[in-house]
Structure 1
């Protein structure tokens, strides 16, 4: 963890709340020295860093969650924002339905303009855009800002601040275009004097052109190794450029930017055990997900962007583990619930969305990405010493300590066969408060973007450019690390690449976006997701524009996405 990017979050969020509602604080004549406004904060490098800290705090809410309350930027461990980009796909389905996972299991009228989670995410992303716009506008237009300090010269500092804000604005618009298609494109901060009620939806192509522009500027001014943990790196920006060019059907540009990341000696795939627990049983693939191993300073050369979380200092929590992990403590055998919640087991899960049976079965037996170190497939019954300081497991009739309790995925999850406590789950985000394994939140730093995905973008670009052999060799870099069998050109098509992305990136990538940009979401979700896939239709490729947003656009009608009322 790193305190610098987090502690500023407390100070920056009240200002961002004011910006969200467009208070024209800069028009006031009286400016008490204790009042934080855009005019008083954005005058020095330190002030801009505080604003950036708040912006990163908004971005991290993707994994923190929100209930969707009146203030949608208030994190709440009761709804995972990123579920909208992961659940309802070929490799993720609803298990214990609640909130958005209900939508992902039923679709139809549940995917509606009034849905709380869809509305909350839309507003959160525009809150993020506005926070980025404020930093960019104030940095570009301020005539007397003091850019000294921070280890760089004034021009370098200014460009880096603008670059970070533009990269995060691009990140937000990436979410918006994949989620809602045509969306309003706004590059100006919202003030009381500039509140609009006549927004128009810009075509996706126009918004993505702006995303490319923002990323191109950011790529020039963001360092390979950010000075502060948690900040976006040049490699992450180049990665997003590669993906954007793929979705814009420019594979030659996509290949160029993927190679910019892959050929940088600072970024390397981790092929050997390292860091904490390196001498304990495990596999090289999973070491980077261990708390204390995720950051580049901790040895993770594969990381392009690592998100920072901390317990008790205002740095935010994450609920990835809780939202995905199965409710193993509810497994019942012979009337006994044997398994206790422990730190070693990763804490408590609620399993709102989980792996599809197809995703679990996708691995070869020797592929370490499908091993019990990566996907929980069994537990060992522990005595008090093994579970310490937590109680011993309870023994069902006929069982002894040391026996295994196996997870069961013999039948797929369906509308009539769900809420499975004994379902396998990814262990990438195991982790809990050591003092409270039953707690809702986790505080471990998390890999958000890594080099392995860049390799898979490269393979996709190579395939589109006619080099299946090149794509096979690129993919084999990852398969060798996992000890999976190597593949040749005859195996490579877009479906194989999508399969490989699932094997490598399940519970990491925005799977819905990947399938949508490759034109495969309907086909593959219907084929492999039996708890929701049977209900999706063409209209569900986009989420509806929230009703509250359309209603607030008082002086110009905003169109709704096709198929929604």
Structure 2
């Protein structure tokens, strides 16, 4: 059953909210701030701050800032066609005015969200009408969200403006606070409070929990990397793993897909969203009242190849099951080659490589027959293509238009193939990610041997039945985890994260925090030739912010190189 929660318009900060399952918002106006100090108002204020998560997660903004321009994802044909090639290629168009609006939107929407959280924290904290337990929980949620929004700002821009109080109207004075101070004054204290005050579970799915706060705090420590931080991250992730709240799903594929049908490679099953492997999810709704077309999950659009164009494949037309091909990014050759496909189920569960005929009018009698096949190897011998009634595309023939399609976000429950975004929730972390965060903490602390067991937990789950032992790390791979942190151990970690989390993790931030962004982009992304360090380790401050600040660049300087 869905609960309905009232949301109030927190000035501009919560205007234009979409909807989500369990946390369902209905805008209400004409109320005073003191209303937020009541139980109903506390729910309203908190759900408004949650709504802002959907500005970034599950949107094109996430693709451009979090996925493109990495070792795992290179540009797709429409990235360039839409004038957004700078996000992958690191061209001079990645600038304070930007080749697209996503950089500006990330900045503005983060501060809208922070103001929502600050407003809620002020009034809920001052309330005498709330039961102490509810007050502590709602404050924990808001401080969790405020920490997440500031974490996103710091890892994109470095020093940013820090404010922990609500604001009204235009603000023309601003200054940049160093990341170390933001971590010390805001992010870490907020998350420590959240860990201490949030419950292990919530009655409304989508609200932050103790495990979510512990996981985010571990990620923050791995990003900051101060003395003792890796040990702190290890302890936090160990607490989440040992809590008993979360369990690994028995099957990797069924985390994302229902039973496969001939023309339904990854049917969305809503029951997958309550899986106990998920630690925290951004909620989306599919009903018209909640405005799916405005604030739904859009990820399925951006990683789908043009199966209906340029291949002359027999009996293929666009369908809900195969998705609408918006081609913003495509997998690199590094990504495609990651898995041992004889033992590891994750390649087949991550990418669609077969399209079956779904258009009987163009090819009578061929319904369900293979129309496109991507064998996952180079195709050089004509025997693989001659006299075949389907189109074979080898790895050496992949382009920015044609490539294996990510399965994890497909949604056949939309009204039609051209309909807007999806109702699938966008999970930020699941338990397998927590195992990998602990492995990272141990490797970066020089305890690579302790990471091996965590790698093997998720590798055994990923194995085809009967191949569990064969899919564990080999002796040579295990030895590499014990090697120098800057080489073998981190290489093993980044490879395993990509195998497990391709299409889920925001790879740009992972590479940045491990110090591997430039090295891996240059090695694996063929068109990211404009990348330079240290310039591209941060995004440009949007010019609108500098222009709107009293004193302009003297008061709010730009990041180096821009």
TM-score by structure 2 length?
A: 0.82
Matched residue, 1:380: 356
Partner Cα separation in structure 2 for residue 247 and residue 18 of structure 1: 28
1:206 aligns with 2:181: yes
Shift in Å at residue 432 of structure 1? 3.9
Q: Quick one: which of 480, 483, 493 aligns to 1:491? A: 480
Partner Cα separation in structure 2 for residue 277 and residue 186 of structure 1: 39
Contact 2:258/2:268 (CA < 8 Å) preserved in 1? no
Q: Deviations over 1:179-215 (max 9, x none)?
A: 00111111010024xx542211111111122211111
Contact 1:331/1:338 (CA < 8 Å) preserved in 2? no
Matched residue, 1:49: 43
Contact 1:242/1:258 (CA < 8 Å) preserved in 2? yes
Partner Cα separation in structure 1 for residue 397 and residue 521 of structure 2: 17
Shift in Å at residue 562 of structure 1? 0.3
Shift in Å at residue 126 of structure 1? 0.9
Matched residue, 1:25: none
Contact 2:231/2:441 (CA < 8 Å) preserved in 1? yes
Shift in Å at residue 469 of structure 1? 2.0
Write out aligned runs for 1:246-395 (5 A).
Answer: 246-249=222-225, 250-272=229-251, 280-281=259-260, 290-296=268-274, 300-311=275-286, 312-314=288-290, 316-333=295-312, 338-345=315-322, 347-382=323-358, 384=360
SS at match of 2:12: helix
1:223 aligns with 2:208: no
Partner Cα separation in structure 1 for residue 500 and residue 548 of structure 2: 42
Partner Cα separation in structure 2 for residue 279 and residue 423 of structure 1: 23
Write out aligned runs for 1:442-461 (5 A).
Answer: 442-461=422-441
Matched residue, 1:482: 462
Summarize the Cα distance change of 1:102–1:292 in structure 2 as closer, same or farther, 3 Å threshold: same
Contact 2:13/2:115 (CA < 8 Å) preserved in 1? no
1:122 aligns with 2:120: no
Residue-pair matches, total:
504
Contact 2:371/2:390 (CA < 8 Å) preserved in 1? no
Partner Cα separation in structure 2 for residue 228 and residue 109 of structure 1: 45
Partner Cα separation in structure 1 for residue 452 and residue 390 of structure 2: 38
1:110 aligns with 2:93: yes
SS at match of 2:395: coil
Summarize the Cα distance change of 1:407–1:61 in structure 2 as closer, same or farther, 3 Å threshold: farther
Write out aligned runs for 1:37-186 (5 A).
Answer: 37-65=31-59, 79-96=60-77, 97=79, 98-99=81-82, 101-115=84-98, 116-142=101-127, 144=128, 146-147=129-130, 154-186=131-163
Partner Cα separation in structure 2 for residue 18 and residue 462 of structure 1: 40
Summarize the Cα distance change of 1:212–1:273 in structure 2 as closer, same or farther, 3 Å threshold: closer
Shift in Å at residue 513 of structure 1? 0.8
Shift in Å at residue 544 of structure 1? 0.7
SS at match of 1:230: coil
Contact 1:527/1:533 (CA < 8 Å) preserved in 2? no
Q: Deviations over 1:308-360 (max 9, x none)?
A: 22221226311000022222222422xx5642222332x21201112112111
Shift in Å at residue 443 of structure 1? 1.5
Q: Deviations over 1:40-60 (max 9, x none)?
A: 531311112112112111112
Q: Quick one: which of 519, 522, 535 aligns to 2:518? A: 522
Shift in Å at residue 377 of structure 1? 1.7
Q: Quick one: which of 444, 462, 475 aligns to 1:464? A: 444
Partner Cα separation in structure 2 for residue 377 and residue 216 of structure 1: 45
SS at match of 2:280: strand
Unaligned runs of 5+ in 2: 16-27, 373-383, 464-470, 482-488
1:437 aligns with 2:417: yes
Summarize the Cα distance change of 1:276–1:129 in structure 2 as closer, same or farther, 3 Å threshold: closer
Partner Cα separation in structure 1 for residue 392 and residue 46 of structure 2: 46
Shift in Å at residue 543 of structure 1? 0.6
Shift in Å at residue 462 of structure 1? 1.6
Summarize the Cα distance change of 1:410–1:545 in structure 2 as closer, same or farther, 3 Å threshold: same
Matched residue, 1:15: 10
Partner Cα separation in structure 2 for residue 354 and residue 4 of structure 1: 38
Matched residue, 1:562: 560
Contact 1:245/1:254 (CA < 8 Å) preserved in 2? yes
Unaligned runs of 5+ in 1: 21-33, 66-78, 148-153, 413-417
Q: Quick one: which of 503, 506, 527 aligns to 1:507? A: 503
Shift in Å at residue 404 of structure 1? 5.3
Summarize the Cα distance change of 1:367–1:434 in structure 2 as closer, same or farther, 3 Å threshold: farther
Matched residue, 2:19: none
Summarize the Cα distance change of 1:427–1:202 in structure 2 as closer, same or farther, 3 Å threshold: same
Contact 2:256/2:272 (CA < 8 Å) preserved in 1? no
- CA RMSD in angstroms comes to 3.2
